[in-house]
Amino acid sequence: MQADKRKPEEITLCLKKICLQAVRKHFAAVGAEAVVGDLPTPLLEDLLPHLTVCQLDELQPALNLKGISTYSGWIRILEDMCGCAADRTPDFLTEEAAKHEVMRTLFTVVFNGFTNTFVNRNITNLNTPSFLRAAAKCIKHFLLFTGMHKPLKSLTAEQRPLLNLLEQCIRSVGVSQSADLSKKKTQTALYVLHRLLDHGVAKELVVHVKCPLMLAWLLHGRGSQYVNCKLKKLMHSKRANCVSRAVSTNADEASCSPGLETLDNQDDEVTPCKRSRLDSACVEAAGSVDPQVICGAFTPCGGPPAEACPWGKIEHLEIRQCGSDSLTVLNSALLTFFCLRSLTLHSTSTFSVSDVLGLAGALKQLSGSSHSSLTDLSVSVLPNIELMDVLLDTNPSLTSLSVEFQTDLWEQRLILRPPLLEKSELALEKLTVKVAHVQTDVTFITSVLRRCPHLTSLHVAGMRLPTGSSQSQLLTTLSESNPCLRSLTLEDLNLSDCLHEILNLLRCCKLEELQFNDCRLLEKWSDKQQSLQQLVSALKTVSTLHTLSMAQNRLAKSVCVLAELFSGSSPSSVNHIDISSNFIQAAELLEFSEALRTHCPPHRLTLDLRKNPGDRDPDTWNTALRRLRPLCVLLVEGWKSTNTMADHISNM
């Protein structure tokens, strides 16, 4: 018999691994209580990477009570799922965030019958009711593929308890495929949507489809009194013989406006109609799209529910791939959509001016009602910058606005209305403006900022100014008009000549988050080290600041100056620094690590180092990372110089 030539410590590690894998294999027989109660803390921490998803989820509460985090276990699963290299860390900072991402991804794949390498390897542990129940408790968003009939059908049969659980957990519902409402097969998807939106707690709806009729069905009765004419005909034609008394006389006699009509009396605060009890055989044969009727057809006993179903309320609506037809449905629904709090509209192409004016008109009527609760609006892509003023003037009660513009250089400025001599103060607290492919005057945004004394968050991206102009006016306006500003993100702007205005802004505002991303900060500084030291000194005086991003600013050799944030008797309160994409090489990172060890942060720092060329000198790079880890949570990923020459050139 050949002698084992391995070292004793190697044999010990091998035996330990075999034992940990045995615990995983026989976990059900051993029991969670025995595992947590009998194993010492070091062994429990070593066990985490060997556990299945369900085992990790089951043990987490007991482990947390013992002061053990399951973060490493969830990260190991994420790395396995994504095929991450060993030097890449997924961007999830807490065990709950990592766990949510695992459960969200795997639930969608397993429930819908999709496959990938990770699922195939672990199918015996994942394709089980226990996993789906565990995952359902964690996820908040349910993405429904209306064409996936088999998994949806299971929710009405063997997995009905899972549907009951989803009702209690799902806060947001996404619809990713259009469906032919006239087909009886579609009823399964409509039933699941009805259960989540009407019986469940979901208040947010994300629509990924262009079908106006499907959108009309989703909005009907869930906050608006209006219903599409085609939808009403479909609802009535399928159940005319058996539910003739189910709809009020007012609805039958109402006149249609183009494409839409009222279902109930407009003076009624969207009170749902009581439905008559229906003969179960008639319901099954009807093929109706009425949620109340469909629910009766899918009840376990085959008859109608004991009471009329509730109507859900959509408070947050997002429509992706939004076109003119979808806007026609939405605009009419908006007139009485009093429960709506936030509205997000994305178009795959630029909206037409007439589309935006139609939307603004509907929003103006809604905002004129004392019942309106809409405060957040996001629209992209707009064809003209003047339309931002239109949306604000027609909705002065908005507290959050996000707009994106895409205009050709040669397009003429469009004057939509005579300018007002005096404009009222706005309630805006959060503003996001993204501009693409256009040179514009900075006054289009500074005029808005002067009307927003309560603004706490601003994000401006991509704004190009005519040659010879400067962004200094933007920064000066912030200093003078927006004292409540707490979060500022400036992205893809040229701030290379604005150091004085930046320093003044830092003296005037109590910022908590500051991001200068791709702002060419050092480009025109004659003495980069000294100017950066001035910026660092000013940042240290902002006692409220906790997040700082200087990504894509060509810091390179100047990065060491940032360590001085934590020097002296009053170190900075910053706990998250993003210096990704700055062409920081290994020797420079090593120097930064030494400087940071000299000026040790008073708290554990999250440091984003992604997209920096660590592969050019991997030994030195890894040495720097080892020295930083006791002080920082590091966000790093692999860099392949052969595939990133464009980034290298952009940072030269």
Residue 287 — pLDDT band, cuts 50, 70, 90? low
The set of residues, in sequence order, having a beta carbon less than 8 Å from that of 343 and lying 6+ positions away, is 317, 318, 374, 376, 377, 378
Residue 285 — pLDDT band, cuts 50, 70, 90? very low
* pLDDT tens for each residue of 183-235: 888 889 999 999 999 999 999 999 998 889 999 999 999 998 888 888 888 87
Residue 49 — pLDDT band, cuts 50, 70, 90? confident
- Locate all alpha helices (DSSP H) within 541-582, ordered by sequence: none
Interval 352-375 mean pLDDT = 92
Per-residue confidence (pLDDT) for residue 85, from 0 to 100: 46
Q: State how far the Cα of 454 lies from the Cα of 430, in Å rounded to an integer.
A: 9
Written as one string, the DSSP assignment of 294-337 is HHHHTSTTSS--SSPPP-----EEEESS--HHHHHHHHHHHTT-
Interval 105-120 mean pLDDT = 89
Please determine, for residue 542, whether its predicted confidence score (pLDDT) is greater than 50: yes
* Residue 371 near residue 402, CB atoms below 8 Å: no
Q: Is 143 helix (H, G, I), strand (E, B) or coil?
A: strand
The answer to which of 46-55, 339-348, 411-420 has the lowest mean pLDDT is 411-420
Residue 239 — pLDDT band, cuts 50, 70, 90? very low
Q: Is 250 helix (H, G, I), strand (E, B) or coil?
A: helix
Domain positions in the chain are 15-135, 140-335, 540-652
Question: Which of 56, 4, 15, 5 minimizes the C-alpha distance to 35?
Answer: 56
Please tell me which residue, 577 or 406, carries the higher pLDDT value.
Answer: 577
Q: How many CA atoms lie within 13 A of 227 on its CB side?
A: 23
Q: State how far the Cα of 609 lies from the Cα of 579, in Å rounded to an integer.
A: 6
Fold observed for domain 540-652: 3.80.10
Per-residue confidence (pLDDT) for residue 194, from 0 to 100: 95
* Residue 190 near residue 222, CB atoms below 8 Å: no
Per-residue confidence (pLDDT) for residue 535, from 0 to 100: 96
Please determine, for residue 102, whether its predicted confidence score (pLDDT) is greater than 60: yes
* pLDDT tens for each residue of 587-621: 999 999 999 999 999 999 999 999 999 888 999 99
Strand arrangement, sheet containing 260-262: 226-228, 260-262, 256-257
Interval 544-573 mean pLDDT = 94
* Residue 403 near residue 388, CB atoms below 8 Å: yes
Average pLDDT, the chain: 83
